[in-house]
Structure 1
């Protein structure tokens, strides 16, 4: 089986540090989201300074330095889909990123989870391919080893309820069939997304810290698909406040360093 051919050798033929240069004094905490609308909305809050960019055939993706409550953070927009998301962050790690807080939308497999509700994943089902190049094969990977308690304190301080549970990471958003949804629910999954398993595997492999949380979007736990606030422009004010929770977590992380 091809996906059982995990190679733990950290030196590949092409390595990220061959493609980017290290940035001196890179901020200790990096924050990212996927939505362009959300990213641009939050970026307007800051006096942002571009410190680097990730190059690809799709164009440039800038990385900014921003200041939140007197503390420096790096901030960039992640690519949607695990291979792109992982490859992009490989280069940002090579630039100097040490720890990443990543937030994004997810589909819910439990209709009791409210639209835009906060979900903290504790494990990811590896129904994808990228993570198998960064970790030995198995069906799941533990996620959010660090800072779960700190994030819960942030949520309590700002009055946000949350759900903890297993997430289903898949590469194929148009192949989430009813049978597959039911099987993942039997495994304990409460939501579905496209990046978490691979991003945790990458950060484990590279020895960097990673924390991801979701805000609930579309509902798959229904006789027919319910998009709810899946659109990037839907409930943008609520999502902007949710993204600021990542910066609050970043403050708590900086306090511990």
Structure 2
């Protein structure tokens, strides 16, 4: 068993002002995405300025934060937030939904693309390889918060989390998700998108791979206490929300390459 590193969730305290590691991880994700997008900006949109890119990153960040929070409220704990709506503002305590943030980014991309002569999937293909940076940083934030831990286990790397009332050795599922949703997904998308791909293919690869990684990790992650298992004693909300992503990703990839072949035949 490994010892859980005791990290104060508050990174900086300045009198009454507290800056949490969880919030800083969002800044790392947004900043990292902006830097990598800057490297690829010329090939994506030669006439775009860095200011235009900053606008895109800003609106996508708003989509992540607003969509992620509202998604958590709607998908995971609606009754608690109806009882106390002010809880919605306490984002530093966690409670963000990837699937809600994903919907938020899609809406922001659609809105931004309409105003900047880019189609929805052109923007999504450009954004998709950048997303794992934020996902990985967010999972580190979950680990520091000692939240979203896994099931009890006797694997050598199991940990006892200070927030666990049972004080059992558990899978560090946050680190599994960091490795898969952050590192592995970034590597797959970054190298896949380095060569020209048909429109929709990169978006499809993101949706498919994320959905698979999330679905698999949910088997060793404790479901949200207020929800438990949704169906058949093993299916979680995270898995239910990830299944459509897997199917959508496969469909987008198949359509992208089939459409490319059809276009080539016509030309």
Q: State the TM-score, normalizing by the size of structure 1.
A: 0.28
The structure with higher relative contact order (CA 8 Å, sep 6+) is 1
Report the structure, 1 or 2, having the larger helix content.
2
Identify, as 1 or 2, the structure richer in strand: 1
